[in-house]
Amino acid sequence: MRRRTLFESSPLGTLRREVDRLFHRFMPPASTGEMLRHPLEHIGCSWLHAYPPTNVWEDNGTLYLEAELPGMREDEIDVTISGHELVLKGTPKPEEMPEGATPLIRERDVPSFSRVIHLPVEIDQAKITATLENGILTLTMPKTESARSRQIKVRPVAGAV
Amino acid sequence: MSNRQIEVNRTGSGAPERERERERVSGRWSYRPRVDVYDVNDELLVLADVPGAHPEKIDVQFDDGVLRIHAHVEPRQPAETAFIDHEYGIGDFDREIEIGDIIDPDKVDAEMKHGVLRITLPKSAAAKPRRIPVKQKK
C-alpha cells in the first residue's frame, strides 16, 4: 500500500484524496483496508443505522445499556423513561476550534440524536442510574421484583427412593 | 502498513448476530478510531474518538513522520455475556496517520477529554508559515 502524507497540496493530490475518500465510502472494507465498526457504513448507509449504537445486557437483577458518545458532556445528554420506552436524546454543542483551523481529514461526526429503545423487562424506574465516563454512557436499570427470574429449588419428595 | 488483514467477525452469543469488521495491526485485532486532523497555523491538531479508553492506557508515538495511536480498552462486560442487543464491538483502538517530516517530535502533546484524544503537533521551525516583510524601497 502506498504511504500517503497529509501534505500533497497539488490540485491533483487533492482530487486523488477526494476520489480515495469516495472509494473508501462506497467500496466494501476488504478492498480498501478500511475498518468500520458499524455494519451498514461500508455501503455509505450509516444513517440507516439507529444512532447511537447501543449494547444491552442483563444479569439476574439488572438490565444494562451502554452507548459510545465520545466528546459529549453530561449536560448534553438527556435520558427519560416511561413504561417500557427509554429515550436517549443528545444535543451536542459544536466543538471549540482554535481560530484559523483548516480541516485536512474529517471523519468524526457528533450528531444530535433521539433514539427510543424498547426495554424487554419491567424496570424499577426510581433506581435507574446513568453515568458518563470516558465517552461511554452506561445505564444501570434494576429490574422490578416481579421481573427477576426466580430460581426454584427442586427438592426430593419425602419418602421417595 | 503492510500485512493488514481484515476479517468479518460475528459477534453476539444468543442475540441476533450482526457483522462487524476489525483489522489486525501488528498481530493484534483492533478497531480503527475516527479522526479529524486540522492545520492550525503553527501546529497540527488531531482529534481521535477512543471511547472507553482510560487516559493512562493510551500510547501516542510520533516517529519517522508517522503518528501512531494505540488505546487499550478494558472489557466492560463479564466474559461470555449474552447480549440482548449487540450493535458494536469493544476492543483496543489503533491508528497510524502519515504526517510527514514537518513536525517537531519533541513537542507533541496529547490529552484526553470525554473519550476524545486531542493531540497537538507543533510544526518544526522550517515548516511554520513565515510572513515575509515587504520593505519600502527608498
Do the domain assignments include residue A161? no
The vertex-B14 CA angle with B74 and A67, nearest 5°, equals: 40
Do the domain assignments include residue A100? no
> What would the mean pLDDT of B122-133 be, rounded to a whole number?
82
B6 CB within 8 Å of a chain A CB: yes
pLDDT at residue B130, as a whole number: 76
Restricting to A residues 2-41, those with a Cβ less than 8 Å away from any Cβ of B are 3-7, 29-30, 33-39
All 3 cell numbers of residue A69? 458518545
- Residue count (chain B): 138
Do the domain assignments include residue B53? yes
Do the domain assignments include residue B104? yes
Do the domain assignments include residue B5? no
pLDDT of B5 over the 50 cut: no
Mean pLDDT of chain B: 81
pLDDT at residue A11, as a whole number: 57
pLDDT of B101 over the 60 cut: yes
> What would the mean pLDDT of B8-12 be, rounded to a whole number?
36
Residues of A in contact with B54 (CB under 8 A): 134
Residues of A in contact with B6 (CB under 8 A): 29-30, 33, 35
CATH number, domain of B119, equals: 2.60.40.790
pLDDT of B113 over the 90 cut: yes
CB within 8 A of A124, min separation 6: which ones? A141, A142, A143, A144
Element at A62 (helix H, strand E): strand A62-68
A61 with A134, same domain? Answer: yes
Instruction: Provide the domain count of chain A.
Output: 2
A88 with A16, same domain? Answer: no
Instruction: Provide the domain count of chain B.
Output: 1
The ranges of chain A with pLDDT < 70 are: 1-49, 149-153, 159-161
Do the domain assignments include residue A18? yes
Do the domain assignments include residue B131? no
CB burial of B1-39 (b: ≥16 within 10 Å; e: otherwise) equals eeeeebeeeebbeebeebebbbbebeeebbbbbbbbbbb
Do the domain assignments include residue B136? no
> What would the mean pLDDT of B26-43 be, rounded to a whole number?
85
Looking at residue A19, its amino acid is V
Query: Which of B53, B99, B114 comes nearest A71 by C-beta?
Result: B114
CATH number, domain of A66, equals: 2.60.40.790
> What would the mean pLDDT of B1-8 be, rounded to a whole number?
38
A71 with A139, same domain? Answer: yes
Secondary structure class of A75 (helix, strand, coil): helix
Do the domain assignments include residue B101? yes
A128 with A116, same domain? Answer: yes
Higher pLDDT, A154 or B32: B32
pLDDT at residue A77, as a whole number: 96
Test mutation, B29, B35, B47, B54, chain A, max A CBs within 10 A: B47
pLDDT at residue A148, as a whole number: 81
A6 with A61, same domain? Answer: no
Do the domain assignments include residue A158? no
The boundaries of the domain holding residue A12 are: 1-47
pLDDT at residue B19, as a whole number: 32
Lowest mean pLDDT among A6-10, B6-10, B29-33, B103-107: B6-10
A7 with A38, same domain? Answer: yes
pLDDT of B61 over the 50 cut: yes
pLDDT at residue A30, as a whole number: 42
Phi and psi at residue B125, to the nearest 5°:
-50, -40
Do the domain assignments include residue A118? yes
pLDDT at residue A99, as a whole number: 87
The boundaries of the domain holding residue B109 are: 32-125
Query: Which of B1, B45, B100 comes nearest A1 by C-beta?
Result: B1
Share of chain B above pLDDT 70, in %: 79
pLDDT of B30 over the 70 cut: yes
Do the domain assignments include residue A102? no
Question: Nearest-CA distance from A87 to chain B in Å?
Answer: 16
